Each structure stands twice: as C-alpha cells, then as structure tokens.
Amino acid sequence: MTSEGSIRPLLWNGIVIGLVLVSYVINIGFSRSWKKWPAAVSAVILMGFALMGYMQAGHIETPLLAQAVHVGELYIFSHLGLAFVVAALIRTPGCEMRAFHHLFSLVTGTPIKEHHCPIGPLGPIDRWEVRQTWYRLNRK
C-alpha cells in the first residue's frame, strides 16, 4: 500500500500476469487438467476480498486485498522461480514447470510425462532442445 492508502501499480500489474500464469502453474505443475478454472477461481477470490473491503471501508483498495494479492503473486512467482532453478540444476527436459516431477522421477525411478511450455518464449527453446544431439544422448 502507498502512503495514500492505494495499492501500488506494480502490484496491480502483477495480478494480470499472475491470473494468466496461475492456470499453467496449477495444471502443469500439479498434473491437473482444470483448463482455466484456477484463474477463474483466483479472480473470484480476489473479487471477494475487494467486495469485503468495499463493504467495510467504502473502497476496494484495502490492506486485505493487497495482502491477498501479495500471497497469490508470491505463490505463483515463487513456484515458477524455484522450478526454473531446479530445472537448471537437474536438466529438466521440456517445460520447467515440470521440474519438481522430474526430480521426483529421478529420485524414485517413476516415469513422468514431458511437457513443452504452452506459452511464452520458452516453447521455441524447448523445441530447439529436442532437436539437439546432446539432448537425445542425455535422455538414454
């Protein structure tokens, strides 16, 4: 919150990116097929906090909404950030959001599905990796 009592613009911008990413983080990161439901549920929860703030304080920009947004963004971006670090350390093939599953697979010997990143600039990189000789050698 700013000194005027409003939510910082950077935090508002993070909501848009977070709502776009949350479905992918949940669906790929936890092997679910819930389509866009995680984003819809997240938006409804945030609207609920905004409505509670409006009913209590007369405006939607309240510390309660700001904290809810912080928690949501912290989860989404921490999950992705940690997944990128783990993926780099253990050479996760395909989508980095599968790094935790790949780590589980390496530890237990259980096979897992591979995914290529569904959005963003990483999809072409994943496709390029698959065509490389070193990638195929590491998969055997």
The pLDDT, as a whole number, for residue 38 is 95
End-to-end CA distance of the chain: 52
The pLDDT, as a whole number, for residue 139 is 60
pLDDT digits (tens, 9 = 90+) for 42-61: 999 999 999 999 999 898 88
Q: Where are the domains of the chain?
A: 9-138
Most confident among 51-65, 82-96, 112-126 (mean pLDDT): 51-65
The pLDDT, as a whole number, for residue 128 is 78
The pLDDT, as a whole number, for residue 120 is 67
Mean pLDDT, to the nearest integer, of 2-8? Answer: 72
